[in-house]
């Protein structure tokens, strides 16, 4: 029988609750602008049996996406714009004005 903590959870179930929260945060389009690139990288790894050398283009695209949106966040922070990360709808407008993804 598992030992219960003061919250009524087993000591093994607490990290999973934290992982679920982190997973939801990573999948949220408003907080993570690079969900599409992340999914593409993961699918590539699945397709090539986790041979990272076959997915370097996907990894680079994800890295470029993160760098691009990080720079946008820094600029907005300097300009005092809140929220620092544009919402998914704002990002879509920004990308369409640029004619597509610049990364």
DSSP 10: B
Residues 17-47: tens digit of each pLDDT:
565 777 776 788 888 999 999 999 999 999 9
3-state SS assignment for residue 16: helix
Beta carbons of 61 and 36 less than 8 angstroms apart = no
**pLDDT band (50, 70, 90) for residue 8:** low
The domain ranges of the chain are 33-98
Global confidence as pTM: 0.74
Question: What confidence score (pLDDT) does residue 26 get?
Answer: 74
Residues 55-75: tens digit of each pLDDT:
999 999 999 999 999 999 999
């Amino acid at each position: 029988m598992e030992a219960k903590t003061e919250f009524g959870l087993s000591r093994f179930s607490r990290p999973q609750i934290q992982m679920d929260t982190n997973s939801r945060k990573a999948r949220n389009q408003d907080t993570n602008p690079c969900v599409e690139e992340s999914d593409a990288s993961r699918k590539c790894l699945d397709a090539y049996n986790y041979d990272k050398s076959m997915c370097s283009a996907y990894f680079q695209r994800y890295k470029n996406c993160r760098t691009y949106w990080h720079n946008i966040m820094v600029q907005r922070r300097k300009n005092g714009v809140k929220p620092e990360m544009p919402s998914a709808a704002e990002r879509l407008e920004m990308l369409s004005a640029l004619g597509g993804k610049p990364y």
